[in-house]
């Protein structure tokens, strides 16, 4: 059990786009499809959808506490792992709270960024599928990013949240909060890692172009495109 919790089971290596990654992604997509179907189904009461949202949010928050406890008490990690170093760590805490509070400005700030982060993570995982078996650290990353997909996905399908061009400033503001945390606050606290992936070996790095510029451009392009698409779709309805 300790080996499973600490991630020492199986063989270490790079297993993205292999069985463990593909099966995990398939399960997550199935869960997202079910949640979106429930959100879109007009025959399901809004109270039922709200209860499902609350269940997902409480599960995500409980899991955020659980994995940190396991990392500290079982794996021997430093207490600093409680700080949300990565965008997914911060989103994993903020997005469930926003969903529970039905905080409209919070949705504008963090939902779209979080959802896109979940999609990109499963499409191009960075350092997640590092074992050929489903150890707890891998499961932790899968569940954390699944929450980033399910909560905004359900809210979108149920008509409780819609990206829009007029809210793009809020979305950019949410992204700046993540940059401030990952590249500012973490440095003040003494952390030196690449928590925003500004210096990592991602597939779409352009030789000669500073990676932060590439990532920020891609993020802006995706956020603007989705916001514009949702605007056009809303006008046709």
pLDDT at 135 (0 to 100): 93
Q: Is 131 helix (H, G, I), strand (E, B) or coil?
A: strand
CA distance 120 to 149: 11
The residue whose two tokens read 């398939």 is 26
pLDDT at 236 > cutoff 70: no
203 pLDDT band, cuts 50/70/90, is low
Secondary structure of the chain: what % helix, strand, coil (to 5)? Answer: 70, 0, 30
**38-44: average pLDDT:** 95
Domain segments of the chain as ranges: 2-236
Beta bridge partners of 131: 12
Question: Does the pLDDT at position 97 exceed 70?
Answer: yes
Spatial separation of the C-alpha atoms in residues 155 and 153, rounded to whole Å: 6
- pLDDT number for residue 185: 94
The closest alpha carbon to 118, from 35, 229, 231, 185, belongs to 35
- Whole-prediction pTM value? 0.93
Average pLDDT for 58-62: 97
Q: What is the pLDDT of residues 119-152, one digit of tens each?
A: 999 998 888 999 999 999 999 999 999 999 999 9
- Decide if 112 contacts 226 (C-beta within 8 A): yes
- Tokens standing for 195? 């928590």
Q: CA distances (Å), 29 to each of 35, 164, 190, 214, 229, in order?
A: 10, 24, 37, 27, 21
Q: How many residues does the chain have?
A: 237
Q: What integer pLDDT is reported at residue 237 of this predicted model?
A: 46
Integer CA distances (angstroms), 235 to 105, 228, 231, in order: 22, 11, 6
pLDDT of residue 195: 92
| pLDDT at 59 > cutoff 70 | yes
């Amino acid at each position: 059990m300790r080996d499973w919790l600490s991630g020492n089971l199986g063989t270490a290596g790079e297993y993205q786009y292999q069985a463990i990654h593909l099966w995990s992604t398939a399960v997550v997509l199935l869960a997202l499809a079910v949640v979106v179907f429930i959100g879109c189904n007009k025959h399901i009461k809004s109270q039922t959808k709200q209860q499902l949202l609350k269940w997902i949010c409480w599960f995500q928050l409980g899991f955020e506490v659980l994995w940190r406890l396991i990392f500290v008490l079982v794996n021997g990690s430093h207490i600093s792992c409680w700080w949300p170093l990565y965008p997914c760590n911060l989103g994993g805490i903020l997005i469930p709270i926003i969903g529970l509070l039905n905080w409209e400005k919070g949705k504008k700030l963090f939902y779209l960024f979080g959802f896109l982060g979940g999609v990109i993570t499963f499409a191009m995982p960075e350092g997640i599928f590092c074992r050929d078996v489903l150890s707890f650290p891998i499961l932790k990353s899968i569940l954390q990013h699944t929450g980033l997909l399910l909560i905004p996905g359900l809210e979108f399908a149920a008509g409780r949240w819609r990206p829009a061009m007029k809210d793009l400033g809020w979305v950019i503001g949410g992204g700046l909060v993540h940059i401030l945390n990952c590249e500012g606050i973490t440095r003040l606290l003494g952390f030196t890692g690449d928590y925003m992936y500004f210096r990592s070996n991602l597939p779409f790095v352009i030789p000669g172009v500073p990676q932060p510029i590439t990532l920020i451009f891609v993020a802006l392009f995706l956020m603007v495109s989705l916001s514009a698409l949702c605007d056009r779709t809303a006008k046709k309805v």
